[in-house]
Every structure is written in C-alpha cells, then in structure tokens.
Amino acid sequence: MLTHEKNALLTQCGPQTTMGRFMRSFWIPAMTSAQVPAADDPPVRLTLLNERLVVFRDSEGRVGVIEENCPHRGASLFFGRNEEGGLRCVYHGWKFDVNGNCLEMPAEPKTSRMCQNVKARAYPAQIAGALLWVYMGDAQTVPDLPAFGFIGRPDDHLYASRWQQECNYAQAMEGELDSAHVSFLHKELNRTNPDHQALTGKYFQEDTAPLWKILPNGAGFMACNGRSVDGDKRYWRINQFLLPFFTMIPPRPGDAQLVRMWVPMTDERCWVICVSWRSDAPLNEQEITAWRNGENSHRKVVPGTTLPVERLDNDYLIDRQEQKTVSFTGIKGIRAQDAMVTESAGPIVDRTREHLGSSDIAVVAMRRALMEAATKCVDSGSPHQAAANPWLYSVRAVQAVLPRDQNLETAEDFLRTAQPTQPINPATH
C-alpha cells in the first residue's frame, strides 16, 4: 500500500507537481497523426497533463500546439479561425502562429507595440511513427524522440489508435504490468485457445501464480513472469515498463509488435495510445480490421470520437448469461475487460487500503521506479538518463519456453532479444 502523500506523488501530474515536472522532461505522445487537422482546418482540443491545449496546422502545414485560452481575456481558441498562417481568436481578432507568437492585434492602434510583448504558451511538436509528439518541458533542453522500433517505419507498417480511459494513468497502466490477472479476467469458459501462448491458451491456466523477476534496463525494467508448463518447463514472458508511461507485452508468435502509452489527460483521466507495427512487412487488412473492431491490442470506439463503445456508464455491455457460459467476465474484448477493473476502482484508487500480494511485484516496482525517478530528477534539476539517451527505448517484449530449472539470468540469448541496442559511436571505430 501507499501513504496518501505517496499516492498523490504518483498520481498528480499538473505543471507544479513533482510527477508533472518529471513527465514534462520527456516527449509526450498526444494523438495519432490521422487526428491532427489538415492545413487551415479548424483546430482540435487536446488535454495533456492537466493543461487545456489546441492543435492546428498553419497554411504551410506546420503543426502548432498552444494553450487553449487566448492570452487576452481567456476566450477559447478552439472556436478560432485558422487562416493565413495562424490561429485567430474570434473575440478581438488576436492572431497567433504555431510558436505562440502574436502576429496581429487589429483592435489595438496601429502604433501599438503590444503585439510584440504578448505570446501564447506553445510547445514544440512533431509527427513521427504515426503519432503527434509534444514536448512540454524546458524548451532549451529538448531531447530526441525515444527510439522505439516503430519510429521511422513506413506508414503501411504501422497502425495507431487512441481512446480515453476514465481513471488515473497509473492504475490504468498497472493492469498492463499485472500478468497474473490473465488467468482469470481474460479466461474463456467454453474453450481453450489451441495456441498455448495466447492469453486464453493453456499456459495461463496450468499455472495461475507466476514466478516474478524484475530486471532493470536503463529506461525502466523488464517485468519477467514465468509459469510452470508441460511438467518440466517454464513459460517466460518479458513485459517492458519504460519511463514515464510506456509498456510492451509480448505478441503471439507471428503477430505484430506493440507499444502502449498511458498518458495523463488530467489526474482522473488518461489517454491510451497503442501502436502496432511490423519491421519487415506491411500490416495486412485482416489484422487492421480486427484492431478497428476492438480485438486484441486496440479498443473499439464510437465513430468520430475517442469514447470506447464498452465503458463504465453502460456497464461495459456485460452479458450475465455469457458470464455463466462463455467468459469469466461476460464482457467482450480484452481491452474492455482491462478497463473495467481499473475504472471501476474509482478515478484515483485509494492505495492506503490495498492488500498487495506476490502477484503485484511488477506493480510495486513500477510505482517505486516512477516516484524515485521523479523525485530525484526534480530535486537535482537534471533529466533522467532515459530522456537523455533515447536508444534505451529500442527494446522488445518477448516470450519463450525454457527448462524449468534454468535460471532466467543465464538465458543470455533470450534476454538479449529484449535489451536495448546502444548505437555505435563512429568516433571510436
């Protein structure tokens, strides 16, 4: 359990909080590139880390991310006119470029120099890997983007989606690191998947209390969980946690890789962004259609929104008859099942009332890693090594069946597939 003070440290992400300042030292994934408006199209709203923003493209196609409220008297720039190289407030015509510079103040005398002294808060932004990334920290020390495997891939190798979740980012992310729940929450009553390594396969039913090992990796840790299977073997899954809110779980053999991102909107809501990708071939229409329908890694949303179809206010469309005969929950979709258990705990769960067990080892490690890193970096005024070394994000989530008596740390070939690859410095070669 956590004290009230530590729970606040973990969950509060506003500009003046320790965790909020820490997160702002990283590039923040904000939306999919498909959700970014076209040049001179109307702006769209964006809430990130308790800040209300708008996103637009100017006439030259440059992306702007600026505060929603006009610096004049606070009117929302969401209702502004995007025209001729800038976003114009409809209240008095003040106009701002993508960097927040005030271009025009037509309600002021032509001799006024006020325009030169007013600026809207704006953040650096770039599109990469089918996502819009925003940097909300010190503009003097903007790092490179994290070197995820999907960055720089062709568009047809990627599929990105975004939906909203009605709880704090940390408790949403905890479900991703809690591999023990798979044996129960995602269980099917009427069949066992013939693929033993599928979440509904027999490996998750043979051993419902996995062995845990936490191995640091520079940007976070590998959450290694092993289940006894087939008598004398152990099925190991290496999930990745990467600061401040990135996770990876192993795909089934042959499936696309994925990275999931749990980005705070406010202290009580978060964005969930998922990128599925292949390094060696385009994605196929069958898997893209499945993701759009909310199968496997992604979640189905109401068309034209980021609102999930199965959600808290409709009880996730639970079918009690199916709960008796088909699935453990009666809720369709793995992502909806995950959301149910995290959202139903409340917007910010009271962690002083928890009773944690051995199945929560990775959750405890994640909380500790976040709180210690945030406190250290804010106290020292220095960025975390992960922010300064983007190559640390070139990791993968992997799985393998090993001899049961083999120590995981000695499985070097297996572990190497999950580790980051440090770039070669040409100056030393």
Provide block-wise average pLDDT over 10 residues at a time, the chain (429 residues): 95 97 97 98 98 98 98 98 97 98 95 94 97 93 94 96 98 94 91 80 88 94 94 94 97 92 98 96 94 90 96 97 96 95 97 95 97 96 92 95 92 92 61
Largest CA distance in the chain: 85
Q: Which are the contacts of 326, defined by CB distance < 8 A and separation ≥ 6? A: 188, 189, 190, 319
Tell me if residue 287 falls in helix, strand or coil: helix
Kindly tell me the burial class for residue 111, based on how many C-beta atoms sit within 10 Å of its own C-beta (0-12, 13-18, 19 or more). Answer: exposed
pLDDT, residue 428, reads 45
CA dihedral 371, 374, 378, 380 (to 10 degrees): 90
Asked if residue 52 lies in contact with residue 27, where contact means CB atoms within 8 angstroms, the answer is: no
Asked if residue 236 lies in contact with residue 399, where contact means CB atoms within 8 angstroms, the answer is: yes
pLDDT, residue 421, reads 82
Kindly tell me the burial class for residue 268, based on how many C-beta atoms sit within 10 Å of its own C-beta (0-12, 13-18, 19 or more). Answer: middle
Tokens of 184: 């129960």
pLDDT, residue 425, reads 60
Q: How far apart are CA 368 and CA 360, in angstroms?
A: 12
pLDDT, residue 54, reads 98
**Chain mean position to CA 222:** 17
Q: How far apart are CA 39 and CA 64, in angstroms?
A: 11
Domains in the chain (CATH in brackets) are: 28-141 (2.102.10.10), 155-422 (3.90.380.10)
